Amino acid sequence: MNRKVINYESFVRITKAISHSRDPEEVVLMTVEGIKTALNVKGCTLFLFNRKTHELEIAASFGLSKEYLSKGPISAMASIAQSLEDGPVAISDVEDDPRLQYPEAAIKEGIKSILAVPIIVGGRLLGALRVYTAEPWEFTLDDVNFVQGLAQIAGMAIDMSRLYQGQKEAIEVLKQMREAQTTATKRRTPYEGVPVSVPASEASRKAS
């Protein structure tokens, strides 16, 4: 089957799966696993940008070892910084590229090439998506478009699912407040249900 057809079918399948999920964790897992499988590469990792530390934190990864993933903090400014400013960046040889923050770790992991794609939603940086290959890889325009398209869809899905979960929590809080208010309204006062006093003259008249 033509590689372009495979990517298109994979794109549709992964997009459909992502669109049906409202769980951010599930979205990132489906994205990295889907890309790794579709392109038949060594691994794929999705990072989220921490605005306080200016670091890229791993949200989900597929195909890479725990040792490589725990190699150290990834600076958004030092690690393939160009990909966060100018768009996708393809590194064909990790052994000879100054943009890598941990080249020794990549070589030890058996990584030969890397494609880095920023995830931008609403004009702001949400994170980055990286594809790793075990063989030297000349990333084609189709490869870049495929990964970039899924990166943006995943980014929007993550943003929407976060919003949904926030709304869900807000709705639960409002619901609890309404329930508390309803309970307070229905609560009887110490005097409710107590018989009204009847004058003695009226009581004797009723008794006769």
Using only the alpha carbons of the chain, give its radius of gyration: 29
For residues 60 and 53, what is the distance between their CA atoms, to the nearest angstrom? 19
Beta-bridged to residue 62, according to DSSP, are 44
pLDDT at 203: 46
For 154-177, write each residue's pLDDT tens digit: 888 887 776 666 655 555 655 666
pTM of the model: 0.73
Map tokens 């490869």 to a residue: 143
For 125-150, write each residue's pLDDT tens digit: 888 999 999 999 988 888 899 999 99
